Amino acid sequence: MLDQLINGLVVGNLYALTAVGITQIYGVANVINFAHGSIYMVGAFVGWMAVTWFGLPLLPTLGLVLAASALLGLLVERVAIRPYTGSGRTVLLLTTIAAGLILEQAAQLIWGPETKAFHAPIADVRFRVGGGFIGTLDLVILAVGLTTALVLWLFLKRSRLGWAVRATAQDREAALQMGVDVHQVSRISFAMAGALAGVSGLLVGLYYHSVYHTMGFSASLKGFTAALLGGLGNIPGAILGAYLLGTAESLAVAWLGSTWRDLVGIALLLGVLLFRPGGLFAATRALLPEPTVGTFIPIGRPLRIPRWALLAAAAAALVLPLVVRNGYWLQVLATAWIFGLLAISLNLITGTAGQISLGHAGFLALGAYASAILTTRLQLPFLLALVVSPLIAAAIGVVICYPALRLRGQYLAVATIGLGQGIALVALNWTSLTRGALGISNIAPPTLFGVEIASAAGFYWLTLLLLIGGVWVAERLSGSYLGRAFRAVREDEVAARAFGVGLERYKSIAFGLSAFIAAFAGVLLAHSYTYIAPDTFTHALSLQVLTMVVLGGLDSTMGAVVGALALIAIPESARFLAEYRFLVYGLLLLAMLRFRPRGLLSAAS
């Protein structure tokens, strides 16, 4: 038990460095910085280079990581925050997501996708403490954590610049009127937070003896959880929350196994969001009402496509397999139609109802796993699985999302990330049903009325027909009373409630319908890939679909389809772009939010 407690305190120190940076930026800029984990990852790689390539000892390596990560924090503030000031917190949240995507893809291109071994440049000596052991690296981590907390406390309490940071965090407008340079405070805060994230990444790499380009997302989730446990904007609370999270995870690993570590963290994240969003150690600090789409500033007029052009495009798509005999391209287009269906489902939540969702891959996973289990385990026909799987996904989606629907803005965004990751982690740990990390293989091709659809052309037509059906349903829904109620919730929740629109009711209907449509895409994806596993449904996939919706146009069904077609087909047609796919996604997201935030074909006015 003592070993687990020591390990929990050490890991808690690592989480604290990340959580303090997140909560400091939230206090100053009032935004949850989703690029924080990417800076953490870059800091880990900079430290790995310093130790592995140049043979530097630990102290100079720490200095180098501090400097590089601080500069990267300044760059994120300059590129992803300052140009979008005044656009609303949700826009800033999306721009930091884009910056994180760019940094993660750049790290993969520079250092490669492989996991790098990282050996500590200090002797590994272990000391007995009671019934447990503590190593030299553990002591270094504890020393760095405590020193950082002390220096940060002295900075905030004793320096004039620290007073300016605290004043800006308490009331930005009042600080500005009192002569505080809030822009300088923002830059300093991002630099400090970046430095803390980089040091945390370095120490985590040393502690687990490895670094890899996707390690930032997990760090972000841990940091968000610790910061939320303590109360966003409360630095001492973030430190206490980090210790609580580290201890809980360490005990979970000892009692349940290593695969439960992340699931315990997700449970704590969702629990504090649902029952005490202000944190365990702080007074409740709720976000002000902020509709997702209403925060975007329209630029220019939306591009509208005539009905005859839509009918002509649908007809051309239907006859395409008669002209194009290349099976590869038909498969690429079939994948684009699947993602078009998925983008339509996300657009229903984000574009029409105005509720940002960053865990949409979870709904895709529900449909895929339901169909795979029904057809491989229970030997049910594909057509029955195609009908039943969306119903299962919609029911589960409503049940798990309903408690979170009273949240708004950034809190709801973090909750949807947690729900999406939670679904993937349940699939990982429920081995008796999903086979865990091994996944479900040998998923048969679709069979309709005794005819197996094994050809590329046949699967193309199946996906296209379901996409056309999804477009028709979404368009009918958009013009109905239900669609108008969704838009009322999006534009002004207070006014909508005043006119008798039940917010939780209509939000739950939106999430249920979205899960229903997304599950169709999941069924098609499972039978297209013939193999699924928990890592098929990653957070990056959710961001990919979000980029499709933003690119095509918020609250535009055809815009979602166009965005999916562009982001699936174009990288395949220009193969040199395939390697830079997520870099392109991040740059596109930044550009669209800067110059045309409502997208190419937005129906929103």
Domain extent listing, the chain: 2-275, 305-595
**pLDDT number for residue 291:** 42
* pLDDT score at 533: 94
Quickly state the pLDDT bin for 300 (edges 50, 70, 90). Answer: very low
Q: What is the DSSP letter of 132?
A: E
Instruction: State the pLDDT confidence band at 117, using cuts at 50, 70 and 90.
Output: very high
Q: What is the mean pLDDT of residues 255-284?
A: 80
Between 350 and 88, residue with greater pLDDT: 350
- CA-based torsion, 112, 589, 68, 88: positive or negative: negative
Cβ contact 109:47 at 8 Å: no
For residue 304, pLDDT over 80 is answered with no
Query: What pLDDT is stored for residue 286 in this prediction?
Result: 44
What's the confidence (pLDDT) of residue 374?
A: 95
What are the Cα distances from residue 248, in Å, to 18, 267, 273, 277, 500? Answer: 17, 11, 17, 19, 43
DSSP structure string for 390-422: HHHHHHHHHHHHGGGGG--HHHHHHHHHHHHHH
Instruction: Give pLDDT, residue 293.
Output: 41
Kindly report the CA angle at 538 between 537 and 540, in degrees rounded to 5? 130
Q: Which residue has the higher pLDDT, 64 or 454?
A: 64
Range with the lowest mean pLDDT among 214-223, 441-450, 566-575?
A: 566-575
Q: Are 168 and 157 in contact (CB under 8 A)?
A: no
Q: Is the pLDDT of residue 88 over 80?
A: no
Q: What percent of the chain has pLDDT over 90?
A: 38
- What is the structure's pLDDT at 295? 40
* Spatial distance between the Cα atoms of 531 and 436, rounded to a whole number of angstroms: 13
For the cut 70, the answer to whether the pLDDT of residue 584 exceeds it is yes
Q: What is the pLDDT of residues 499-535, one digit of tens each?
A: 888 888 888 999 999 999 999 999 999 999 999 999 9
At residue 384, does pLDDT exceed 70?
A: yes
Give CA–CA dist 567/402, Å, rounded. Answer: 31
The answer, yes or no, to whether residue 215 has pLDDT greater than 70, is yes
The set of residues, in sequence order, having a beta carbon less than 8 Å from that of 562 and lying 6+ positions away, is: 551, 552, 553, 600, 601
Supply the mean pLDDT for the chain.
86
User: For residues 113 and 258, which has the higher predicted lDDT (pLDDT)?
Assistant: 113
**Predicted local confidence at residue 386, as pLDDT:** 94
Share of the chain above pLDDT 70, in %: 93
Is there a shared CATH topology between the 2-275 domain and the 305-595 domain?
Answer: yes
Note the pLDDT tens digit of each residue in 49-75: 999 999 999 999 999 999 999 999 999
Residue 479 burial class via C-beta count within 10 angstroms: exposed 0-12, middle 13-18, buried 19 and up: exposed
Q: What pLDDT shows up at residue 294?
A: 43
Residues 149-170, mean pLDDT to the nearest whole number: 85
- Mean pLDDT, residues 251-278 taken together: 83
134 pLDDT band, cuts 50/70/90, is confident
CATH top-level class of 305-595: mainly alpha
pLDDT of residue 603: 56
pLDDT at 370: 95
Mean per-residue pLDDT for 183-196?
90
C-beta separation of 514 from 397 below 8 A: yes
pLDDT at site 576 = 65
Better-scored residue on pLDDT, 186 or 517: 517
pLDDT digits (tens, 9 = 90+) for 325-370: 888 889 999 999 999 999 999 999 988 888 888 899 999 999 999 9
pLDDT at 48 over 70: yes
Tell me which of 1.20.1050, 1.10.3470, 1.10.357, 1.10.3210 is the CATH number of domain 2-275: 1.10.3470
- The reported pTM is 0.87
Cβ–Cβ under 8 Å, residues 76 and 99: yes
